Structure formats: structure tokens, C-alpha cells
Amino acid sequence: MAGRRTAVLISGGGSNLQALIDACDSAQCAAEIALVVSNRADAFGLERARRHGIAAAVLDHRDFASREAFEAELDRTLRDARIELVCLAGFMRLLTPGFVEGWRDRLLNIHPSLLPAFPGLHTHARALEAGCRVHGCTVHLVRPTLDDGPILVQGVVPVLAGDDADRLAARVLEVEHRCYPLALDLLARGDLLIEGDRVTLPEEAEALVLHPLFTPG
């Protein structure tokens, strides 16, 4: 049986898109990646979609007179494709409250920090500057406030001596690729209770992913 029709919005290479595609193709996720939309025609993620026979669309935000006009066309594109769930995966556009509320509790984002710590940009450098011993990523339902919303899954990595932002980012990306399919699967199955800005997961849900460098004891 086909999973819930899901669109992934991208602006770049789409490595998290690939993780989602792989999980859905191997029946490890109760969703179907049915559409990929990019605001950049040169995004490599579009090629990833084409290689897997997934419909791909380009909506260049610069072609629209306003953010609202861009989002109106984006919304139409999603609804015309009968999309049920939407994943943001490196989509470098801030979405207006109107769009977010229109897809409330059906819109996922992945952020490269352990929210609520370090919302916004340059999360890896900020974690290093703060002297964090652990860092990671968060998959959450989107709310109008930037990088805010009910948390579904988090991934945790150690911060190692000698790390710079690039090395730390690469380690975080490893757990991102595990966390995002888990979160999409939970949402697609309906295996969660959403009450306002809180999410209750089933007891057996895998909601915390530890990097392989963590060892017991």
C-alpha cells in the first residue's frame, strides 16, 4: 500500500532528501516521496528526484512580486499534486505564518542543533563557541516562529577535541540522515498525539538517535 504523499522542499544538494527517498523506497517509512520542489533551478536535489522517477518542480522566488505570491503558487503546486505532508530539507526560504498555518501539523523541518538551543544560522560554530560537550539535530513540526515547534526526533553527537564547524557539521549530518526518516514515519503513520505545541509519542517510538561514537558506559 502506498504511503502518504509527501513533498520535499529543497534549495541545494538534497542529502536529507536522499535519506528520505531511500527510507521510503525500502519500506522503512510510511510515506511516499511524490514531489520535490526547489526554489533554485541548479539544486542537485532535483537531479536526485529525477533519478528516482519523482516529479520535480522549480519555483524561483525571484519570479514573484512578493513572498505571499510565491507561497500561493507553492501551495497550489502542492495541492495539485495531492500532497498530504511536507518536509523542509535545506529549503532556504522563510515561510509566512499564513503558509505555515495552512499546513499546520503536516509540515516538518530539520534543524542542525538540539533545539531550543541555537535556533537560526551558524549552529555548529555557535555550539563550539559555547563550549558544548554534545550537539546534534532536531526534527520538529513547523510553527510560525523560526525554528520553533513540537519536537519529534533528536539526534545527538559528541563534540570532540580539535573539532571545527565543518567537522562537527559532518558528524551531525550523519544523524540527520537517520532522524528525518524516523520523524516522517511517525507523522505518516499517525503514531503521535499533537496537542497544541506538544507531541506525545508512542512508548516504543525511537525519538532519540545517538551517534555511533557514543558507547555504553
Q: How far is residue 113's CA from residue 134's CA, in Å, rounded to a whole number?
A: 10
Half-sphere exposure of 166 toward its Cβ, with a 13 Å CA cutoff? 0
Q: How far is residue 209's CA from residue 178's CA, in Å, rounded to a whole number?
A: 7
Cell of 103: 499546513
Residue 209 φ then ψ, to 5°: -115, 125
Q: How far is CA 172 from CA 47, 74, 126, in A?
A: 24, 30, 14
* pLDDT score recorded for residue 1: 52
* pLDDT score recorded for residue 197: 86
Cell of 40: 533554485
**Nearest CA-CA partner of 182 in 201, 202, 205, 211:** 205
Q: How far is CA 146 from CA 94, 116, 120, in A?
A: 8, 11, 7
CATH superfamily of 1-103: Formyl transferase, N-terminal domain (3.40.50.170)
CA torsion angle for 75, 77, 83, 84 (degrees, to 10)?
0
- The yes-or-no verdict on residue 217 having pLDDT over 70 is no
* pLDDT score recorded for residue 2: 73
Q: Whole-number mean pLDDT of the chain?
A: 96
CA torsion angle for 166, 168, 169, 170 (degrees, to 10)?
90
Q: 32-43, pLDDT tens digit by residue?
A: 999 999 999 999
Q: Residue ranges per domain, the chain?
A: 1-103, 110-137+144-217
CATH superfamily of 110-137+144-217: Formyl transferase, N-terminal domain (3.40.50.170)
Q: How far apart are the first and last CA of the chain?
A: 42
Q: 111-147, pLDDT tens digit by residue?
A: 999 999 999 999 999 999 999 999 999 999 999 999 9
pTM of the model: 0.96
Q: Is 35 left (phi over 0), alpha (psi -120 to 50) or beta?
A: beta
Residue 165 — pLDDT band, cuts 50, 70, 90?
very high
- The yes-or-no verdict on residue 95 having pLDDT over 90 is yes
Q: 175-196, pLDDT tens digit by residue?
A: 999 999 999 999 999 989 999 8
Mean pLDDT of 72-83: 98
User: Which position has the grid cell 516522517?
Assistant: 184
Catalytic residues: 111
Q: How far is residue 166's CA from residue 163's CA, in Å, rounded to a whole number?
A: 8
Cell of 71: 507561497
